[in-house]
Structure 1
């Protein structure tokens, strides 16, 4: 919807997304109303519809934004030019480092997929597959070169991503281990899991 000149859409739109992100992560998508989101932003509930058509569109936009950011950041890494073992280590460290800075986005992206309507689900799932395909490609290259011993590249891909994403459920800055130590430990586990 077009905004009128002098409006604050460049301020209010991001505030609405930030409020929705925090509320969805804290309470779950199903438990959050548009009225609650409006209350967090300090606008009337009806004003939200100047920025989004409905709560479902807002959820899909948050997930799309997260996946677009992830794919853009990953595109800067030229893993295809690296040996499979180096590419896999880079992927492991990248995944942990990128996701640890975005706990709300990660929670929503993984836990609220079930809340997406079919068309939105298909779009987000296609973006997720792009990211998974890179890791699967690294694993296939490594297996073909005799560097990795894996039974099924797709299943290994999903298992590795699930394991790496799990760091978000327990890691806290200032804890017993630094992020670099956690990355090193996880890299060791992944390396052993693929028989490298």
Structure 2
């Protein structure tokens, strides 16, 4: 099937993903139809299938790209040798990276249940890679006697859940600057794991 006249795959494909991202975040994956996504982009519903096989593939791609971007950005950081500083860096990175992507974060956590089992497994493996980076820091601190943690896996999930909370309430121009929010969260995380 030929593309709609005047469409460009390098423009239309990203517009479809952006529209789907916004609609999934506002209404939920299950409530959004391919027809709604097409209307948001300004193309015929059938034209979407030139860019994605189905809605599930679109959801998976959005979540996969988010996780790849997250892992790549974290991997590019120069990791401190000091364990406490490595934890502080993780806290700041997580907050700042995710605040720039509220729709991606919402979908990454709330729409996992809508993935097929195979897609879920792949995304879960990527999430585990990110969680493992934090858990390694916590384990290093535990072994060095800097941290006192009953279970590093539970602590990892608790820290990430706490950091994700920032996305639900923080607004630029609010009572606290982003630097202040980061300092407060770092202090809470530090206190929660300190020996």
Shorter chain as normaliser: what TM range?
over 0.9
Q: Report the counterpart of residue 34 of structure 1 in structure 2.
A: 34
Cα distance in 1 between the residues matched to 2:139 and 2:82 = 12
Provide the C-alpha distance between the structure 1 equivalents of 2:182 and 2:31, rounded to a whole number of angstroms. 34
* Matches of 2:57 and 2:27, distance apart in 1: 18
CA spacing shift, 1:172–1:77, aligned 2, 3 Å? same
Q: Name the residue aligned to 2:93.
A: 94
What is the rounded CA distance, in whole Å, between the counterparts of 1:32 and 1:13 in structure 2? 18
Shift of 1:78: 3.1
In structure 2, the CA distance between the partners of 1:53 and 1:195, relative to structure 1 (3 Å rule), is: same
Normalising by structure 1, what TM-score? 0.95
Q: Give distance in 1, aligned partners of 2:2 and 2:65.
A: 21
Divergent runs of 4+, >2 A: 1-4
Structure 2 distance, partners of 1:105, 1:95, is 13
Per-residue deviation, 1:195 = 1.5
Q: How big is the alpha-carbon RMSD for the aligned residues of Structure 1 and Structure 2? A: 1.6
When the two structures are aligned, how many residues end up with a matched partner?
194
- Kindly state the Cα deviation for residue 2 of structure 1 after the two structures are TM-superposed: 9.6
Q: Secondary structure at the match of 2:165?
A: helix
- Inter-partner Cα distance in structure 2 for 1:120 and 1:63: 10
Quote the residue 2:82 is aligned against. 83
TM-score, normalised with respect to structure 2: 0.96
Contact 2:3 2:47 in 1 (8 A): no
Q: 1:173-192: per-residue Cα shift (whole Å, max 9, x none)?
A: 11100111000000000000
Q: In the TM superposition, what is the alpha-carbon distance from 1:3 to its structure 2 partner?
A: 7.2
> 1:20 maps to what in 2?
20
Aligned mates of 1:141, 1:165 — CA distance in 2:
23
